[in-house]
Copies of this chain bind each other. A is one copy, B any other.
Amino acid sequence: MSDKRQSLGDAIAAHVHDADAIALGLALESGIPFAAVHELIRQRRRDLTLIGPISDMAFDQLIGAGCVTRVIAAWVGNVAGGSGYCFRRALEQGIPHPITVEEHSNFTVGLGLKAAAMGVPYLPTLTGIGSDIVRDHPRIRPQDDPFGGPPLLAVGAIRPDVTIVHTQRADRHGNAHLWGNLGLTLEGVYAARRTIVTCEEIVADEVIRSDPNRTVIPGLLVDAVVEVPGGALPASVQGYWRRDFETFLGYHGRSRTLEGYRAWLDEWVLGIASRDAYLAHLGQPALDRLRVRDQRLAAAANFAP
């Protein structure tokens, strides 16, 4: 396979276009590709559709920055804090501009991605019967059971233009090891037209090949692989970074007002050139507190033939 390494700026410039539908935050609270999110804001992408289960504050930041016109998600907010204030301002007051929401539950957004991943137009489910979410839903319809059972709902395929994921390590071809939370990562990558992998480390091919069962993301589905240590902060990365709760909380407090959000964005995104600058701004004491230095290694698995 070819060498797919790029800088984060180049990867976003090459593979994410205005009006794209982007899936991210697929592992739920961990491994959210915040470095890529901030680069999207700096590169002023517009008219994006965001796809994900619970997005933690990544979707909120993109909405506040005016990048988004549509959200396909089960939950938008700040997991530790509750509401996403930019999300609320967009929906309640049209600030910075109105957005639409395609409501989902975690299961239905997952089934939509899975349908696209499987190459079928829909998947059947029992979830949501009796809920207002599925009433007049553009992507969820009643469907008969051809075997004569009670009616079901059909969740239509959700096909992202781009899926962005952050993993622990990958080779230069994009074959990526991921451990800890999986969430909807596999579904989001298989479903997408293009995939960008950011990772803590780009490693030698043989590291990935030593454990093919750890390769959640096969390189044949990957368009760009970017080494961005700490690229998921403030989200956690198992074995590399703890959750930076203070940053989530700080954002939550400051984004309560529009002015506060703008100041936060200036300080942490627009006034920051790169993830390295983000880490520097975070400061050494915070990095020391957040970086995992203990070792608790997986039991050996022998792949000798």
Contact = CB atoms under 8 A, between A and B. Distances in A.
A245 interface: no
Interface stretch (A66-74, A120-128, A269-277): A120-128
A221 interface: no
A152 B121 contact: yes
B121 A124 contact: yes
A275 B302 CA distance: 23
Nearest to A154: B146
Interface residues of A, number: 47
Interface stretch (A1-9, A76-84, A247-255, A293-301): A293-301
A210 B179 CA distance: 12
Interface of A: 119-126, 141-143, 145-147, 149, 152, 154, 156, 168, 177, 179-180, 182, 203, 207-208, 210-211, 213-214, 238-240, 242, 292, 294-305
19 contacts: A121-B124, A124-B124, A143-B146, A146-B154, A147-B156, A177-B299, A208-B299, A210-B299, A214-B298, A214-B299, A238-B302, A238-B305, A239-B304, A292-B304, A292-B305, A294-B305, A296-B304, A298-B300, A298-B303
